């Protein structure tokens, strides 16, 4: 699930899941790279997402793709952002 928010010029990714039986096979990385490419093609300035602090696998994946925690919270989740100008 994703959508472009014109208020902050961000593509927000939400509801990103890889079934447990298919994790650790590169599907999550490939899917995130495709979503990042779609966000770039849409002209968005950044990609944002959120995740639970205890989800260390997600945190590690997003950090390896260049996402940086913003200090913001979305409910109880940590918000991270990828600047698409820097990512190009």
- Mind listing the pLDDT tens digit for each residue in 33-68? 999 999 998 888 999 999 999 999 899 999 999 999
Q: How many domains does the chain have?
A: 1
The predicted model gives 63-75 an average pLDDT of 95
pLDDT score of 54: 95
CATH number, residue 14: 3.40.630.30
The parent domain of residue 63 ranges over 2-87
Mean pLDDT of the residues in the chain: 90
Q: Which residue has the tokens 């940086």?
A: 68
pLDDT score of 23: 84
> Minimal CA–CA distance to 14: which of 41, 47, 37?
47
Q: What are the tokens at 53?
A: 């602090």
């Amino acid at each position: 699930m994703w959508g472009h928010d014109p208020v902050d010029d961000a593509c927000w990714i939400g509801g990103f899941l890889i079934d447990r039986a298919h994790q650790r096979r590169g599907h999550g990385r490939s899917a995130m790279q495709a979503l990042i490419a779609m966000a770039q093609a849409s002209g968005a300035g950044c990609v944002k997402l959120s995740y639970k602090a205890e989800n260390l696998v997600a945190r590690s994946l997003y950090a390896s793709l260049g996402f940086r925690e913003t200090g913001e919270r979305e409910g109880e989740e940590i918000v991270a952002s990828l600047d698409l100008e820097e990512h190009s």
